[in-house]
Structure 1
């Protein structure tokens, strides 16, 4: 039985896509069968794995519209054991198109039923908003990972996101769990980074992953080469961090 994990935070620039791509790739390298779903109209997870966004004919949009099945939307990637359902800028329109449909929050959930058992993990890269796209992802997921950057406004907006998770649990998906809070963009030289880590660990103790994702130049270079950090530079700090996170996720679910 596959586990579906959404990577969500309505704030932009917190490392959602970096985490989605590199956690998925790390799980694949650790011999888990993984599907990454790009549910962000910016399609950065798609291009970050070397797929030309312009060539996408069947992707997340068609999945939510139910014009194609999930099986038809799956593409192979160059990373071992990792498939993707790609995104395209046309996904922007989906919020408007689904607005007056019945059960609009359940479109993704329904689409994934037929393939859930084909994978160990399905990772959903959410858009930086709490709109219908993210709601679909949370309703379809078993758990959510929330990346939090080690910067001044880190905890701003977190309360709003946790309230959204609560209301999804109450109304649409009682099974939804918080897999964990993930500290990202950590710079050990900065006092502020260390303060944020302390603050988050103090408030949320067991909910916080032990792995902390450090700032790493190789990590930010990898997407421009269309590669995960595992393919791009497996010995970099970024790769080591994400492999460590993947092991934590596997241990939590074994």
Structure 2
């Protein structure tokens, strides 16, 4: 991605979404915790179902299991561990998924809950048991059944997060405008982690989507402070002699030589979004303001 071809690449991604018969697999990832990955995942899934899309979400963060707990779902007939371990078609995805439904049964989507058994395995054990590409392999068999597969990733750079990115077509990166670490870690993911996976896959994927500010109130002064920090991050990446990288289009996707637009997409703060875990229901199903916010997110990144 370069400043002059951001809009072209965005059109290609959206065109792929509209024309492909396979699901677009999206990793929701930042190497920093506390940026709202899980909240984003469940509400994005819910908004897509309101738009009549078929959605599968995967909790691939067995150490925290936030998505599983937020939705109040439990492992199905077979666990994620057994599905990953199974050879060929011994276990169907139908045996692994849980069907999440709203209390009024108006909306639903499929979910694969986190498996606690995976959390007990150390990094070396995981890599001995499973190839890094295993998640991608098992999800590939189900891509024709969905429009979107969303994977809630762990906030680190180990087996689970690497597997998540390897399995994904694009990476959606939430950040906090008032959290420098979330911005720095987003930069690290874009210039180092994602290229590492691209090199392993050798097909150009996954593609990093531009960052967005997630779930915080923000005023003009704070925007200027965030821009100052972002400008510093961009400049450091440009001057890095070992790993020089142009981060500009990932932080300022509207910027061009003709229009120096430094806007970053913002998903505003809304109390009911953050508190939806208590009701085990994504906020977009209950609150119009939340629906409007996430509809804007969907239009920004995924739909024309």
TM-score normalised by the chain length of structure 2:
0.73
Distance 1:194 1:215, change over 3 A: farther
Q: Work out the CA distance in 1 between the residues paired with 2:263 and 2:96.
A: 32
CA offsets 1:45-104 (integer angstroms, 9 cap, x no match): 1222232x4x555343333333744332111111424110111332313544322247x1
Instruction: Determine if contact 1:69/1:111 at 8 Å carries over to the other structure.
Output: no
* Aligned-residue offset at 1:133: 0.7
* Aligned-residue offset at 1:184: 0.7
Matched residue of 1:156: which SS?
helix
Q: Does 1:222 align with 2:252?
A: no
The match for 2:252 among 205, 216, 219 is 205
1:240 corresponds in structure 2 to 292
Q: Work out the CA distance in 2 between the residues paired with 1:246 and 1:198.
A: 27
Alignment of 1:117-132 (within 5 A): 117-132=144-159
Matched residue of 1:188: which SS?
coil
1:46 corresponds in structure 2 to 68
Instruction: Determine if contact 1:25/1:230 at 8 Å carries over to the other structure.
Output: yes
TM-score normalised by the chain length of structure 1:
0.86
Matched residue of 1:155: which SS?
helix
Distance 1:89 1:193, change over 3 A: farther
Tell me which moved more, 180-189 or 192-201.
192-201
Instruction: Determine if contact 1:151/1:193 at 8 Å carries over to the other structure.
Output: no
Tell me which moved more, 173-182 or 222-231.
173-182
* Aligned-residue offset at 1:210: 6.2
The match for 2:216 among 157, 165, 186 is 186
Distance 1:64 1:160, change over 3 A: farther
RMSD: 2.6
Q: Work out the CA distance in 1 between the residues paired with 2:224 and 2:110.
A: 36
Q: Does 1:167 align with 2:179?
A: no
Tell me which moved more, 117-126 or 91-100.
91-100
* Aligned-residue offset at 1:249: 3.3
Q: Work out the CA distance in 2 between the residues paired with 1:221 and 1:121.
A: 25
Q: Does 1:157 align with 2:185?
A: yes
Matched residue of 2:209: which SS?
strand
* Aligned-residue offset at 1:113: 1.6
2:138 corresponds in structure 1 to 111
Pick the structure with greater CA Rg.
2
Q: Work out the CA distance in 2 between the residues paired with 1:210 and 1:159.
A: 14
Q: Which consecutive residues of structure 1, in runs of 5 or more, have no partner in the other structure? A: none
The match for 1:140 among 167, 170, 175 is 167
Instruction: Determine if contact 2:84/2:134 at 8 Å carries over to the other structure.
Output: yes
Q: Does 1:14 align with 2:35?
A: yes
